[in-house]
Amino acid sequence: MGKVIVVGSLSQDLVAKAPRFPLKGETLRGTEFGMFAGGKGNNQAMSAARAGANVSMVGRVGADSFGEMLIQTLNNNSVDSQFVFKDNEVGTGIAHITVNGDGENAIVIIQQANLRLCAADVETAKATISEADVLLMQLEVPVETDIAAAKLARASGTIVALNPAPAPDHGSLPAELMSSVDIFIPNQTEAQQMTGIVVASIDSAREAAIKLRLAGPDTVIITMGEQGAFVHNDQISELIPSFEVKAIDTTAAGDAFCGALAAALARGEELCAAVRWGCAAGALATTKMGAEPSLPSDDEIKRLVMSALRQS
């Protein structure tokens, strides 16, 4: 069992399902409502744990009932929460999510305690970061915190993986961070925002990946939804196809991909096999509503991969 440590956000997801997204000024009748554990860091940590990794989480929540629920959910999913700190000054992060009839989502996040995760918090987890096989990060906490974590990991030989979500408003990330990243994992939209290249095909994905690698990462993996994931480094430049499923909610599909990818890399899988594992997890995550309930187990991922192999 490989070791993964996730530095990132935790939030309480408030999910409303409706036939379509409301228009400006419109009150629209919804069809379902649920509250789920969320935040990209939290989702990716649980995804990695369900995909078979030994996982620790570094993050911040408020000293409130939502924070307690998030910590309990991590514990219930076998994620080590000793480095999830309670903040007495601000509340737990919140995500307001609307899902339309096609399974597409629109999300508003209120980051709160996530914005107070700092380098000192990361330093507290230094020994665990140094022992991990993979460090997985996103951009829902201060970038200075990610830089501190990446430097600690790089110094100890831990693989550094960064999912640039949400994409930076100014289109680029500090060189200090990018030069410490081994695997960079944007989706199509994030890759476009950071390169100016519309990523819609293998050729455009390759063009964007080449440009992103110039900033420092050894490997770029651009997730492309139902198409799969495009992998580019010095040895590989190809699309790993996804799996055909009936999607009802795309919330956390990218997080499922990142967590399962990290778990596979941590246990020693070669890159393309790990990406295929991630694609299977991402596809399965679209078949259930909500973030935490949709993250698939190792057995579920394995069944989908094996089923696809038998059909090919």
The residues annotated as belonging to the active site are: 255
> What is the largest distance, in Å, between two alpha-carbon atoms of the chain?
55
The span from the CA of 36 to the CA of 97, in Å, is 11
Quick one: tokens of 124? 């507290």
Which strands sit side by side in the sheet containing 228-232, from one edge to the other?
79-87, 54-62, 3-7, 134-137, 159-162, 183-184, 219-223, 228-232, 237-241
Token pair 């596809």 is at which residue?
283
Cα separation, 55 vs 78, whole angstroms: 8
166: preceding bond cis by omega (within 30 degrees): yes
Residue with tokens 């095909």: 201
**Angle (CA) 26 28 32, round 5°:** 150
* Terminal Cα distance for the chain, rounded: 29
**112 HSE (CA, 13 A, CB side):** 24
CA distance 306 to 216: 35
- CA geometry: angle at 237 spanning 281 and 136, to 5°? 45
